[in-house]
Structure 1
Amino acid sequence: MKRNTLAMMVGAGVALAGLLAWAFAPRPVAVEVATAAAGPYEQSIVEDARTRLRDRYVITSPLAGRLARIALREGDRVSAGDTVATLTPILSPMLDERARREQSARVEVAEAMLQRADATVQRARVGLESARTELRRSEQLARENFIAPAKAESDRLSAQAAQKDVEAALQARHAATHELETARAALMAAQSPSGQVASFPLRSPVAGQVLKVVQPSETTLALGAPVLEVGDISQLEIVTELLTTDAVQTRVGAPVRIERWGSPGTLEGRVRRIEPAAFTKVSALGIEEQRVNVLIDISSAPSSWQALGDGYRVGVRIVTVAQSSVLRVPVSAVFPLPGEGMAVFVVEGGRARLVPVEIGGRNGAEAWVLGGIQAGAEVIVYPPAALRDGARVKKRSVPLVQQG
């Protein structure tokens, strides 16, 4: 075989081997990377909420009566002490002639009882005067030893008993006087036309707006029946129902961002109270959840949220962790290790290096890294399942997304 032919065959074999080696060599894995950087970090709880009045006043009927038609409507402003409704007391059923005569007879009986009580008082006073006269005579005779001392003592006791009779007669006359006044009042109420009965005004306890008119039309109300509701719209608060596991992480005074309230911008607030008792609520998926009410005060200027009203739906973001400057990476770059702990893939020299990290917290977009990597390290976002330590990678940078 000629030397040129052998050289050509050897060259073709080497080329073929190189081509095969290139064809079957592992390709660099295309990955997206982000740079670990220092910056502010927040961890928050996002939940739906609603507004409500801090103080709501329900005006009720203080007596059974006829309610006049209410001219006020929802949204009307009232001042403290304004008359918001008028109530006319309900009289007893109309009496027939026989009942009227019976009531008149009761008045006459009460008058006679009073006269008898007066006579009893007069008789008791006469008896008291007689007993006192007899006592004075007995005491004088006893001093002159004309009668026994026991007779004077007996007359003294008789005078005391006569005094008690006078007091009892006075009490009886007092009771008879009240009985006569009651009988006369009942007769006057029965004989008075309904139009002459004085009306009773219902007044607003506070300055604010009418929230609800329960009885707009003229009607008869029972004692304690609700008539309307009033309140001061400027005194709004927000209530949200948190899972008990989230409520444990929340503290009184925590900052709150109020979002999705129907207008551009975000309102500021503070947690005022976390109620101590939880309740069971069934979710839309039919799962029983233990939730607790958390009350939030709006700290933004009232002029910025004056369009809000009672019962409006809003979204709240309660900040549970806030750091001014920490090392952050995208939360999608962090994954759990098979044993314990967390790790990230760092790009070094065109290869992926598995690095265990210590995580201080995570939110929906970022992870707070306490140790394991330094600022400026390039971490792989959404690492593929086939990626291994030391694998060649081809990177494409993505920005570090901050939590909104």
Structure 2
Amino acid sequence: MTRKHWIYAFIGIAVLLAIFAWAFAPRPVEVETGTAQLGRFEAGVEEDGKTRLRDNYVVSAPLAGLLTRITLKEGDRVEAGANVAMIRPAYAPLQDERTLREQQARLAMTRAQVDRVNARVEAAQVALRRARNDLARSETLAGQGFVAASRLESERLAALAAQKELDAAIAERAIAGHEVEQARAALMAVRNPTSVSERGLAVRAPVAGRVLRVVQASEAVVPFGTPLLELGDLSTLEVVAELLTADALQAQPGSPVVITRWGGAPLAGRVRRVEPAAFTKISALGVEEQRVRVLIDIASPPDAWRALGVGYRVNVRIVTLARDRVLTIPVSAVFPIPQGNQQGRGMAVYVVDGDRARLTPVELGARNDAQAWVRSGLAEGARVIIYPDAQVADGVRVKVRSTAPAR
């Protein structure tokens, strides 16, 4: 081969070596980054909740009778003391000719009994007058010595017995008069039942509020204590959430709450009470959980949640920790320090230093589902790698593909 051919061969080999070196040379790992910045950090407990009324009133029948149809509908507003239902007497007898004749006969019988008692009263009055006359005559003769003392005592007892007989007859006449009135009322009810049933008892609302549910809307004969309708004041709406016992320990009375996912703008709330007794609930996976009810007051103005009703499903986030002007980073950038690393144990992040990734231990104050509060180990403005994959390591070249927006 000539010298020229050797030169061409050497150049070709050099080009091939350069191509192989470029092809197999390590390339920088593409990463996404976030920025460490000062801001507000909040940590809390998030759970589903449900709205309910603090006070719910069930209006029931105060006595047994015929309930007229309730015209109120769900959502109607009523004032305290307003008539919400009417209960009238219910009459069992059938309105037929036999019943009418029986009541007429009963009235005639009671009137005849009154006449008989009146005659007895008159006879008792005559007997009392005779006994008193005999007693007066015996007393006069006894004063002259013509009547024995025993005879005088017998006349006095006879007068007393006649007085008692008259008293009994007068009492019987009063009883007979009441029976006549009772028979007359029963006859009136059979002849014209509608006129009698117009009188009834008005059932009144105990409080001002809205009708939540009409239990018995149709006219019917109801027994004592039958629920008729439910009333409530929507201004006393509250939220109840069932938290795990471990989370409920962080939800102290007075803790601020953010209420979302109800169909409107987020609402402000505040924990009013954490019930002292827990209960067992089976989760969707069949696991037994100990939960506690947490009662939350809605602190936003009523106009902001006017459309919210009773039994609505909402989401609550109870703020258990809040700090202003602290250093925060995306929580996806934080990971445990790998075992065997000389940095020790704890949490760390990868910081972008030029075109290299540097493993940096950090001390965390707290974290939530989006952010991590960094106490020490980072400076404001540092770029950290989020979701680092297995290729990222300390000192590896990286190329920033995109930067996550700050939250």
Would the TM-score normalized by the shorter structure come out above 0.5? yes
Mapped contact 2:35–2:406 kept (Cα < 8 A) = no
Mapped contact 1:330–1:400 kept (Cα < 8 A) = no
Cα shift at 1:327 = 1.0
Relative distance call for 1:65 and 1:351 in structure 2 (3 A) is same
Alignment of 1:240-389 (within 5 A): 240-263=241-264, 265-339=265-339, 340-389=345-394
Per the alignment, residue 146 of structure 2 pairs with none
Mapped contact 2:36–2:380 kept (Cα < 8 A) = yes
- Normalising by structure 2, we get a TM-score of 0.71
Mapped contact 1:352–1:390 kept (Cα < 8 A) = yes
Deviation per CA, 1:365-391: give whole Å up to 9, x if none: 111112222212211111111222111
Cα shift at 1:345 = 0.7
Distance 1:18 1:35 in 2: 38
Distance 1:399 1:204 in 2: 59
Cα shift at 1:13 = 5.7
Match of 1:390 among 367, 370, 395: 395
Distance 1:216 1:191 in 2: 32
> In structure 1, what residue type is equivalent to 2:382?
A
Deviation per CA, 1:328-369: give whole Å up to 9, x if none: 111111112234421111111321111121222221211111
Aligned to 1:22, the other structure's residue is in SS state helix
Which runs of no fewer than 5 residues in structure 1 stay unpaired?
116-172
Alignment of 1:4-403 (within 5 A): 16-90=16-90, 193=189, 195-196=195-196, 198-263=199-264, 265-339=265-339, 340-402=345-407
Distance 2:175 2:76 in 1: 48
Deviation per CA, 1:131-175: give whole Å up to 9, x if none: xxxxxxxxxxxxxxxxxxxxxxxxxxxxxxxxxxxxxxxxxx9xx
Deviation per CA, 1:3-30: give whole Å up to 9, x if none: 8877776666665555443332211111
> In structure 2, what residue type is equivalent to 1:244?
T
Distance 1:238 1:68 in 2: 36
Mapped contact 1:341–1:356 kept (Cα < 8 A) = yes
Distance 1:47 1:318 in 2: 9
- Normalising by structure 1, we get a TM-score of 0.72
Aligned to 1:234, the other structure's residue is in SS state helix
Aligned to 1:304, the other structure's residue is in SS state helix
Distance 2:106 2:232 in 1: 47
Aligned to 2:22, the other structure's residue is in SS state helix
Distance 1:46 1:371 in 2: 27
> In structure 2, what residue type is equivalent to 1:357?
V
Which runs of no fewer than 5 residues in structure 2 stay unpaired?
122-167, 340-344
Distance 1:231 1:386 in 2: 62
Cα shift at 1:243 = 2.4
> In structure 2, what residue type is equivalent to 1:384?
D
Cα shift at 1:44 = 2.5
> How many positions carry a matched residue from both structures?
335
Mapped contact 1:329–1:400 kept (Cα < 8 A) = no
Report which stretch shifted further, 290-299 or 278-287. 278-287
